[in-house]
Every structure is written in C-alpha cells, then in structure tokens.
C-alpha cells in the first residue's frame, strides 16, 4: 500500500470566507472546522495545503465533469455505459448541452472550491509563526495548485472571475479577461518555480516540485502562444536529468510506476479502510469495465482506434483501449457487457483507467489509483511543438522521436506540426487534453463539426446559468448560449 500519509491530514479543510448567500462561489463546506482558532500553528499551515491536494481527487475534479468536458467532447471518446444510463452525457458528445446542466456547475464549483482552499492558505500562512523555509514552500505549493485550477477554468470557460485572496471582493461578480487570467497563472507558477524543491523525501512524495511548475508553465505558454518561453522551460526540464520515460508505455499507468521518473505531477489517491472521504478516487471506477469492475463511461471511439492503426502503433493502442475478450498482462480477462452506448462494434474501455483487481483492498474499484496530470512524455512533445512553431523542424525531431522510440515507431527526421498533433493525440489519449488541444490548435471545427461543434460557440463551455442568476446578472454568458 502507498504511504503518502501527508494526504490524510485534514483533507477537506474548507474555511468559507464569502459574505453573502448570493455569492456564486459560496459552496457548501465539507468536513469544515471553524475559521476561529485555525491558521495559528505550523501544523495548521501544513493541514491547509494538504486539503488542497486532497480536494483534487474528489468527484467534481476527476469523475463525470472531467471525463465529459475534457474527453467525451472530443473525437477520442463517446459516452459508453448502457443506453439510457446518464443519457445527458450524449448532449456533450453532440454539443447540444445547455447552460442549465449540472455537469458545468460541477466542473466550475470543483475548481473554485480548490481556489478557495488555496486562497485560504496563501492569505493566512504568512501570518503564522513557523519555520520560514517550510512556510515559503507551502505557499509555493498552494500557488502551483491554484494555477492548475485556473488553467482548467480559463481553458473551459475563457474569461472567469479571479479571486486571489480572502476575504474576496467584487471580483467574484465579474469575469476577468482570459489574458489576465493567464497572467495570474503565470505569476503563480513562476513563484512556485522559485520556491519549490526539486524533490521530496519518501514521506512527502507526490507534492508539487519546481520541475512540475516548470513543466506546467511550459504547457501554459503553448496556450499563450509564447513558443520561445515554452521551449526554454521544457528544455530546462529535459536537461535537468530528473525525469525520464518509462521503458514500457503500458507500465507507465500502473501502480508500480506512480510518482516515478516519468511523472512530473499526479493526483494522489490510496485505499484506506474506513476513510472514503480522505483517500479514495472514483476516476477509475466510472470508466472501467461495465458489469465487471466499473460503470463503463468514457469509451474509446472507432476513430481513435483507427488513428492508432494508421500510425502503426499497436503498443499504445493496446495500453489505451481494452476490448472485450482481451487478456491484460496481469492475466485479467476483459468480459464486461455485450454492448455499450455509442458504438456498434466490440465493447471497449479506457485502458489507462485499468486497475488490476488483485490490488483492490478497500473502497470502489480503482480507488487507490493516482491520476496522471503531467508526464515527461508531454514535456518532450511541448518542446518539439515549440521548436516547430519557431521554424526549427530539425531540432524538434529529437524530443519527438524520443517519444516515438519508446513505442517502437520509426523516427521522423523532418517533422511538421501535424506530426506533433498526431503524436499528442496517441500519447495523451484519455489524459484530459484532447478537446482543449483541438480548440487550441484550431482543429476543433474541422475535426468535431460532424458531431455538432459550432465554430464561434463551442470553443468555450457555457457559464452555469445558476451562477449567473446568483450573481444577479453581473456574470455574463459566453456567446451562443
């Protein structure tokens, strides 16, 4: 069993600081403790930051809202499961969802709850008398995590409110332009780079590092189209010698490889008897083999399977797509059900969410599986893309071919940008980036048009209507909704 004991300390500290019952960021607390008497000791400071990490593995962060908005909207996945089960998910596959659907609010509220937790730490820890080095590090961790939450929000909704301290002011009732949101993300990650260590001891493994912050900022710079900065930071991560590719693509997603050399950052989860609320994740359960281990949502499309075949890539295909009748390297037979909603061929499932049942001890299936957020393979692809964007195709071949070599694909000596697009899809399928990648690279209208994607509208999701109403109209809706 994993021993990340730090994640067990006050996992859901939520100290609400919003003044009005109509504040649209005012979410119900979970396992709250009174604000009075807290943020007074070093232990409180550690607990407050631990609560941010723990929030990342909750339902709004890694279950339905995550798979629906970041993958099912793409060409990688369809709803799956049984016909009629959670049929509202099909509204995202065909882009007919409305601003009133709860998935949008789950996604929004989950991330703003995380921002609230981070703002509590960032605002209150400086006033605690404690070890100054630890204080600086904890604030850096909170800023790294806040940057991740804002990155999700700005990619999904564009202009969003940006509270950065508690108590909050009128900024909660207005949408900050996305270029300013990105500036906040950049500032947080730069602070994290300058204050976080490169590594931790075993008891703190899984916390944000300076390398994770550099890698995330390199990714953010891709979205900002700051190619030179993206290349510089990705190259610093590569040249650090801290990270490397797992020789086996399949094993990269297994428990033994968690927090290994390929991982820059993961959401931590573990199985602890009697502690559902402080350890488990349902990320794997909602996607796993229906009728056998899980619910069978978010299943691979024929189009994704064909993309693997066209690339001559059986290695990543086998690790990414589990078909009915397959036998895993661990010896598990994929039986599942006879049919799944959205496909007419052989039932199949997200192989990256597979969790050998022999490892299951407590809780729902896969409850102890970490969720990969940023891998070294993506850093190499960021480096390759940034180089191509600057006209340096020959240099981009080195990082691109490092990723391809791991799965026995031939080298591409003079890659073009489409080679990077293709590699990102096959390497990162079901890791939450495909829809955002299509929008970022201008491919969404052509790739997703047949599904119902409307240019000028569906690049962004609808702001949850309930929150617009709670703001008394101060929040505005995205175009087309």
pLDDT digits (tens, 9 = 90+) for 436-464: 999 999 999 999 999 999 999 999 999 99
The mean pLDDT value for 7-26 works out to: 34
* CA distance linking residue 265 with residue 373, whole number of Å: 6
Residue 7's pLDDT band (cuts 50, 70, 90): very low
| Residues of the domain holding 169 | 5-352+364-470
Residue 331 domain flag? yes
* CA distance linking residue 170 with residue 12, whole number of Å: 26
Residue 479 domain flag? no
Residue 292: closest CA among 377, 349, 254:
349
Structural contact between residues 451 and 434, judged by C-beta atoms closer than 8 angstroms: no
Question: Greater confidence, 98 or 22?
Answer: 98
Residue 358 domain flag? no
2 pLDDT more than 70? no
Query: Which of the residue ranges 34-43, 273-282, 393-402 would you say has the lowest mean pLDDT?
Result: 273-282
Residue 23's pLDDT band (cuts 50, 70, 90): very low
Residue 37's pLDDT band (cuts 50, 70, 90): confident
pLDDT > 70 in the chain, percent: 91
Kindly report the CATH number assigned to the domain that includes residue 200: 1.25.40.390
- For 299-319, write each residue's pLDDT tens digit: 999 999 999 999 999 999 999
Residue that has been written with the tokens 């949008």 in this structure: 104
13 pLDDT more than 70? no
- For 44-98, write each residue's pLDDT tens digit: 999 999 999 999 999 999 999 999 999 999 999 999 999 999 999 999 999 999 9
Q: Write out the chain in H/E/C secondary structure.
A: CCCCHHHHCCCCCCCCCCCCCCCCCCCCCCCCCCCCCCCCCHHHHHHHHHHHHHHCCCHHHHCHHHHHHHHHCCCCEEEECCCCCCHHHHHHHCCCCCCCCHHHHHHHHHHHHHHHHHHHHHHHHHHCCCCHHHHHHHHHHHHHHHHHHHHHHHHHHCCECCCCCCCCCHHHHCCECHHHHHHHHHHHHHHHHHHCCCCCCHHHCCCCCHHHHHHHHHHHHHHHCCHHHHHHHHHHHHHCCCCCCCCCCHHHHCHHHCCCCCEEEEECCCCCCCCHHHHCCCCCCCCCCECCCECCEEEECHHHHHHHHHCCCHHHHHHHEEECCCECCCCCECCCCCCCCCCCCCCEEEHHHCCCHHHCCCCCCCCCCCEEEEEHHHHHHHHHHHHHHCCCHHHHHHHHHHHHHHCCCCCCCCCCHHHHHHHHHHHHCCCCCHHHHHHHCCCHHHHHHHHCCCCCCCCCCCCCHHHHHHCCCCCCCCCCC
Here the tokens at position 206 are 């899984």
Residue 359 domain flag? no
End-to-end CA distance of the chain: 47
* CA distance linking residue 40 with residue 16, whole number of Å: 17
Residue 273's pLDDT band (cuts 50, 70, 90): confident
- The predicted pLDDT at position 271 comes to 84
* CA distance linking residue 354 with residue 346, whole number of Å: 18
* CA distance linking residue 445 with residue 454, whole number of Å: 7
* CA distance linking residue 273 with residue 225, whole number of Å: 46
Residue 477 domain flag? no
- Domains contained in the chain, number: 1
Residue 476 domain flag? no
24 pLDDT more than 50? no
291 pLDDT more than 70? yes
The dihedral built from the CA positions of residue 270, 255, 399 and 412, taken in this order, carries a sign that is negative
The mean pLDDT value for 347-358 works out to: 97
Residue 44 domain flag? yes
**Mean pLDDT for the chain?**
92
- The predicted pLDDT at position 31 comes to 38
- The predicted pLDDT at position 270 comes to 85
The mean pLDDT value for 234-243 works out to: 98
Look up the pTM and report it. 0.94
Residue 156 backbone dihedrals phi, psi, to 5 degrees? -80, -40
- The predicted pLDDT at position 25 comes to 33
8 pLDDT more than 50? no
Structural contact between residues 429 and 304, judged by C-beta atoms closer than 8 angstroms: yes
Residue 420 domain flag? yes
20 pLDDT more than 90? no
């Amino acid at each position: 069993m994993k021993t990340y004991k730090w994640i067990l300390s006050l996992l859901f500290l939520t100290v609400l600081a919003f003044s009005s019952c109509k504040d649209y960021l005012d979410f119900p607390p979970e396992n709250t403790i009174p604000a009075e008497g807290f943020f007074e000791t070093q232990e409180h400071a550690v607990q407050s930051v631990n609560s941010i990490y723990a929030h990342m593995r909750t339902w709004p962060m890694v279950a339905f809202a995550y798979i629906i908005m970041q993958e099912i909207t793409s060409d990688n996945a369809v709803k799956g499961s049984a016909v009629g089960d959670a049929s509202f998910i099909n509204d995202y596959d065909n882009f007919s969802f409305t601003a009133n659907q709860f998935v949008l609010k789950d996604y929004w509220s989950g991330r703003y709850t995380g921002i609230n937790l981070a703002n509590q730490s960032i605002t209150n820890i400086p006033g605690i008398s404690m070890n100054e080095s630890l204080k600086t590090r904890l604030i850096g961790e909170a800023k790294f995590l806040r940057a991740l939450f804002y990155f999700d929000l700005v990619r999904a909704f564009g202009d969003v409110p940006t509270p950065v301290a508690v108590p909050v002011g009128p900024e909660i009732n207005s949408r900050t332009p996305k270029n300013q949101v990105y500036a906040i993300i950049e500032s947080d990650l730069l602070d994290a780079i300058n204050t976080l260590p490169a590594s931790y001891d075993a008891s703190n493994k899984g916390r944000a590092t300076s390398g994770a912050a550099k890698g995330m900022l390199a990714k953010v710079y891709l979205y900002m189209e700051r190619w030179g900065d993206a290349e510089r930071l990705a190259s610093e991560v590569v040249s650090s010698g801290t990270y490397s590719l797992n020789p086996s693509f399949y094993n990269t997603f297994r428990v033994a490889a968690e927090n290994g050399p390929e991982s820059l950052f993961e959401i931590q989860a573990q199985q602890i008897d009697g502690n559902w609320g402080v350890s488990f994740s349902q990320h794997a359960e909602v996607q796993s083999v229906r009728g056998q281990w899980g619910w069978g949502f978010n299943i691979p499309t024929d189009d994704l399977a064909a993309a693997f075949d066209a690339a001559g890539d059986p290695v990543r295909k086998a690790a990414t797509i589990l078909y009915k009748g397959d036998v895993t390297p661990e010896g598990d037979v994929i039986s599942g059900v006879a049919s799944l909603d959205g496909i007419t061929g052989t039932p199949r499932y997200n192989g990256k969410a597979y969790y050998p049942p022999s490892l299951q001890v407590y809780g729902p299936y896969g409850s102890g599986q970490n969720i990969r957020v940023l891998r070294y393979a993506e850093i190499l692809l960021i480096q390759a893309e940034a180089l191509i964007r600057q006209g340096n195709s020959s240099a981009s071949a080195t990082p691109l071919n490092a990723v391809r070599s791991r799965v026995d694909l031939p080298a591409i000596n003079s890659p073009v940008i489409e080679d990077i697009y293709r590699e990102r899809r096959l390497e990162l399928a079901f890791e939450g980036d495909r829809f955002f990648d299509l929008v970022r690279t201008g491919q969404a209208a052509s790739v997703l048009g047949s599904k119902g994607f409307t240019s000028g509208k569906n690049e962004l999701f609808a702001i949850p209507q309930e929150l617009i109403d709670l703001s008394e109209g101060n929040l505005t809706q995205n175009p087309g909704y």
